[in-house]
Amino acid sequence: MTLQARRPTFDWEHTPLHWIPDEPYATHANNTLHLLAPVFERGLIALYKEVLPRLKDERLRQELRGFLAQEATHARAHDQVLAWMREHGLETAPFIAACERDWQAFAGDTPPLGVPAEAWLRWRLALAAAGEHLTCVVGHWSVSTDALDRAGADPEMLAMLRWHGAEEVEHRAVTFDVLRAVAGPTAYPLRVAAMVATLPFLAGLWNRAVAYMLANDPLLRGRTFGRRDYQALLERGLAPGRAILEAVARYMHPAFHPDQEGSLELAQGVLAGMTRRPAL
């Protein structure tokens, strides 16, 4: 399978800020993707451009190039959503700047004092593979759930989430295979340790991103949200919830490979529908 970037365009002109009607909490819970993904995706691009020349397997090199093209397109599309949010009075730049700093400390290109460069590079590859496992899980959720449709989610925003989600399923194995190629027998302990570090890191960012948007949303002045809203979100299936923890448990198995995760058939069905859209 050759990975290719599709570059569909989306029209937000008629999309309301609360694009899941009367569901500001669920809207912003899903908007976290627009805030966090570009930071993660740009980090991946810098990392894998560094690693690409070391890979000997031509098929893997080809897949990695396709993966990088897809991630670059995702980051650009999310930036467009952030600009659209800004037009609606929700400015996210301060949060994203803080998120960039956190990412650099967590997985940036400068090794912490005393850590050899090669060990740091392998650790970053393991962190990236853990992150990509989680984006595959969220991606599969977005293409397989009907909860967002039932809640009346805006079709353009839904199409955007599903395009990104489907490509995450499509390229689910690339970072895992690169880790195995570079780290060899140390890939397994590295990936387990990296998942243990990645899950709380991303969960913390997710929480902060939701809280930031709820606090800065111009339509929500004075409204407060809490644990009950989070529980209602999960009960109504408007976020993946438990599926993430189950997927983390699968990832820890020594025989795990991402080809077992999500549904490629479903993802490619979504992507086939995208070709009708004009290109970015």
User: Please, which of residues 203-222 interact with Fe ion by CB under 5 A?
Assistant: none
Smaller CB distance to Fe ion: residue 63 or 71? 71
Smaller CB distance to Fe ion: residue 64 or 220? 64
Smaller CB distance to Fe ion: residue 135 or 142? 135
Shortest gap between Cβ of 73 and Fe ion (angstroms)? 8
Stretch that binds Fe ion, among 120-128, 164-172, 214-222, 226-234 (CB under 5 A): 164-172
Stretch that binds Fe ion, among 166-174, 200-208, 228-236, 238-246 (CB under 5 A): 166-174
Shortest gap between Cβ of 48 and Fe ion (angstroms)? 11
Stretch that binds Fe ion, among 45-53, 116-124, 167-175, 199-207 (CB under 5 A): 167-175
Shortest gap between Cβ of 69 and Fe ion (angstroms)? 11
Q: Are 37 and 75 in contact (CB under 8 A)?
A: yes
Measure the CA–CA gap between 155 and 21, rounded to whole angstroms.
Answer: 12
CA-closest candidate to residue 32, choices 104, 96, 87: 96
Shortest gap between Cβ of 179 and Fe ion (angstroms)? 14
Measure the CA–CA gap between 20 and 24, rounded to whole angstroms.
Answer: 7
Smaller CB distance to Fe ion: residue 48 or 212? 48
Q: Does 74 bind Fe ion (CB under 5 A)?
A: yes
Q: What is the 3-state secondary structure (H, E, C) of the chain?
A: CCCCCCCECCCCCCCCCCCCCCCHHHHHHHHHHHHHHHHHHHHHHHHHHHHHHHCCCHHHHHHHHHHHHHHHHHHHHHHHHHHHHHHCCCCCHHHHHHHHHHHHHHHCCCCCCCCCHHHHHHHHHHHHHHHHHHHHHHHHHHHHCCHHHHCCCCHHHHHHHHHHHHHHHHCCCHHHHHHHHHHHHHHHHHHHHHHHHHHHHHHHHHHHHHHHHHHHCCCCCCCCCCHHHHHHHHHCCCCCCHHHHHHHHHHCCCCCCHHHCCCHHHHHHHHHHHCCCCEC
Stretch that binds Fe ion, among 64-72, 81-89, 201-209, 268-276 (CB under 5 A): 64-72
User: Please, which of residues 124-143 interact with Fe ion by CB under 5 A?
Assistant: 135
Shortest gap between Cβ of 118 and Fe ion (angstroms)? 24
Smaller CB distance to Fe ion: residue 23 or 168? 168
Smaller CB distance to Fe ion: residue 45 or 151? 45
Q: Does 162 bind Fe ion (CB under 5 A)?
A: no
CA dihedral 71, 93, 103, 233 (to 10 degrees): -80
Q: Does 34 bind Fe ion (CB under 5 A)?
A: no
Shortest gap between Cβ of 267 and Fe ion (angstroms)? 12
Shortest gap between Cβ of 132 and Fe ion (angstroms)? 5
Shortest gap between Cβ of 41 and Fe ion (angstroms)? 5
Give contact residues for Fe ion (rule: CB under 5 A): 71, 74, 135, 168
